[in-house]
């Protein structure tokens, strides 16, 4: 009986971890799309890839999950540049992009 409860608790914890990760990925994708539109660059592949995950304290001192997502973009259509979206909990901490060439 106790073994079954432990197994159910582990499965539920794994599902919640996965579900929260998917939500964070969707928020990161929307933020990167919006940032690319604001900067008039093209987000390539419409995809963000999880690069790292760890725990970090926020400004209030609360422990949050920090996820780093990678993405690619292009400014002219000929080159590919890399970008990073850092999520702290469910919020975007920062979006960083490599210096890129633009045709103005």
Query: Per residue in 50-64, pLDDT tens?
Result: 999 999 999 999 999
| Residues 22/14/68/75 CA torsion (nearest 10 deg) | -30
Contact (Cβ atoms closer than 8 angstroms) between residue 37 and residue 95: no
Using alpha carbons, select from 4, 45, 50, 57 the residue that is nearest to residue 24: 50
Q: What SS3 state is found at 81?
A: strand
pTM (2 d.p.): 0.87
- Bridge partners of 85? 69, 95
70-96 pLDDT tens trace:
999 999 888 999 999 999 998 999 999
């Amino acid at each position: 009986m106790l073994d079954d409860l432990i197994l159910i608790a582990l499965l539920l914890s794994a599902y919640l971890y996965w579900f929260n990760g998917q939500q964070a990925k969707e928020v990161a994708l929307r933020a990167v799309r919006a940032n690319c539109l604001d900067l008039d660059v093209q987000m390539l592949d419409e995809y963000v890839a999880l690069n790292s995950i760890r725990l970090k304290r926020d400004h209030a001192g609360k422990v949050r999950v920090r996820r780093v997502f990678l993405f690619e973009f292009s400014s002219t259509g000929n080159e590919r540049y890399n970008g990073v979206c850092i999520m702290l909990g469910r919020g975007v901490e920062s979006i960083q992009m490599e210096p890129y060439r633009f045709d103005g």
